Structure 1
Amino acid sequence: MDNTSYDLVIIGGGPIGIACGIEAQKKDLKYVILEKGVLVNALYNFPENMTFFSTSELLEIGEVPFVSDRDKPTRKESLEYYRRVQETYNLNISLYTEVLKMTPKEEGYTIVTGKGDAFAKAVIVATGFYDTPRELKIPGANLPKVKYFYDSPHPYVGQKIVIIGAANSACDVALETYYKGAEVTMVVRGAGINERTKYWIKPNIENRIKEGAIAAHFNSQVTSISKENVTVNTLNGEIVIENDFVLAMIGYKPNYTLFKNIGLPIDDDEFRTPIFNEETLETPLPNVFIAGVAAGGLKTSRFFIENTRIHAEMILNHLEKKLKK
């Protein structure tokens, strides 16, 4: 890839990055998609047994039908679907290619990656957020027992686990591991289960807590983690819980380290939102665009695959006019 020149470099090989690649291909632009991990890396990090809340139709891109066994597809089905989309269009995508830096050059940008440099007249940042977890900032947070992603309940069979959080992911994990034989304790900063938790999960987790099957400490915070224990500050004082694993299901964030390294301007509002034109998705950096859920900053409930699929057409229609001037 050294010194290759492109009309467009797309950073991120998730659904929206793929959609941008399809639109670039339709417009005969020379492009490449750079993905730091596997194809649709964020979806790959979803739990093994996850089912989408949306229908398969709302997740379709590139006019490729998404056929699933049920109305709402599974993680496995989504991975196969986006692989099939990539194969259908034979997209130019470089996997395991992490973007390290971007520097402006005359009429474009130099993109520095772990596999060499590339030059681009235009850049789309479509990096999502799910593969960048919010991490704990407490002693012991980097111990191997602390997990920020959850894949399967099997490793936690017969184990004492502490789950931090009270939204959808935390409640899903608490229930699934409990049903598979883990001793589950939830530690929740607020006074109860998050009100936005899915309607079929919330009563289930609340009933398990009420009957004592799952322990829960509300208005509480984990203050330190050791190999054998977790220390929790509660309303009734500090307690120590014997513990094998900590699952920190406390949310995700855009890759702000990457944003800084490529010079992407960020608003100083509470959501640290990337700055961009709402009509064209162009940032203050000329010919640099942001697409997909990363555009919402820390407000991760603003954008989804379903309502950002249109970003690809919005950007490429605008970019085509600019490049042909």
Structure 2
Amino acid sequence: MDASTAASPKRDAEMKTYYSVQCFSDANEHGRSVVNLTQDYFQIDKGRFQSTLQQIDLDGIHAFHERTNCDIVQCGGVLPSAVVLAWTVPAHSLDASDRNNGSHVHSGFKRGGGDWMYRVAGGMEVSGITMSAAEFDRLVEPLGFATKRNASRHIKFMHDSHAFSVLRLGIDELKNHVEHLDREQVRAMLRKQLLDAIFCALQEAEVAGRPNLTRQTYNDIVKRSQDLVLGNPEDPPSVLDLCTELRVCRRTLQTSFTHIMGMSPSSYLRKIRLGSVRRLLRSIPASQMTISEAAARWGFFHLGSFSNDYRQFFGELPSQTLRFGAGH
């Protein structure tokens, strides 16, 4: 969706500060337009150059998605205070042989000061995220991801990796929220979800062994996680938030919830949030809080998917839940 579809000139102007779609007929103009990167693109294919560049700003985290019709060589670097994680994938869905062979995606992580030169074939799509190096270091420190200051390294995301699929879908999902990006709460929630997907994919790619823990430790991790979720009704923590706050890696958190709750931490968090919305609906009259307001308080901004999840979980639509003060 193009930002020009906004409902009003004022909102359109606000939205364009968070989302843009640009089309280029010159490779170098394209390369120099990606936020937080200093790049030169060189076209090495015959033909008229055409490309698109989509960028989304989530208050300091920049997601980009680009596609060119010609083979190009990308030469560039990262701004000193930033890091970048980027990958290339075919424009069309991966075929069965790629998935079955477990082939990896061409991807990399680089810090400010690092440079690169990559050849990207025409028709390939490049996606990536740039963010503050200080924020990256703060979040990655308790998670055990083996990164070093000033490091530039290749990362092998597997085609059939669940975490990498979630990350790719997360980038795509951002485009579905364009018309709501002028709302700070929406940006904050999307930011959390994207950060969670980033570090999940990085940690899955790391494949580091972790020590076994006792059931009591697992139980303590789950209990502390629950306290954090219920203690933040206006800002429900993501899985990454829990890992950072509890200073445990995602694998340990996952194992704890599997052993104690029989489900993943993300499933647990979602059910807690759905249950919290239901409690609001049951405890506050409809005249004082609408369903959409109750849902938004717990991070659900799209009523369609929220209502479907709510119905699957509770066996009724939120509109069918008996509100406080209504007759039985």
* TM-score scaled by length of structure 1: 0.25
* TM-score scaled by length of structure 2: 0.25
Higher relative contact order (CA 8 A, sep 6+): 1
Whichever structure has more helix as a proportion of its residues is: 2
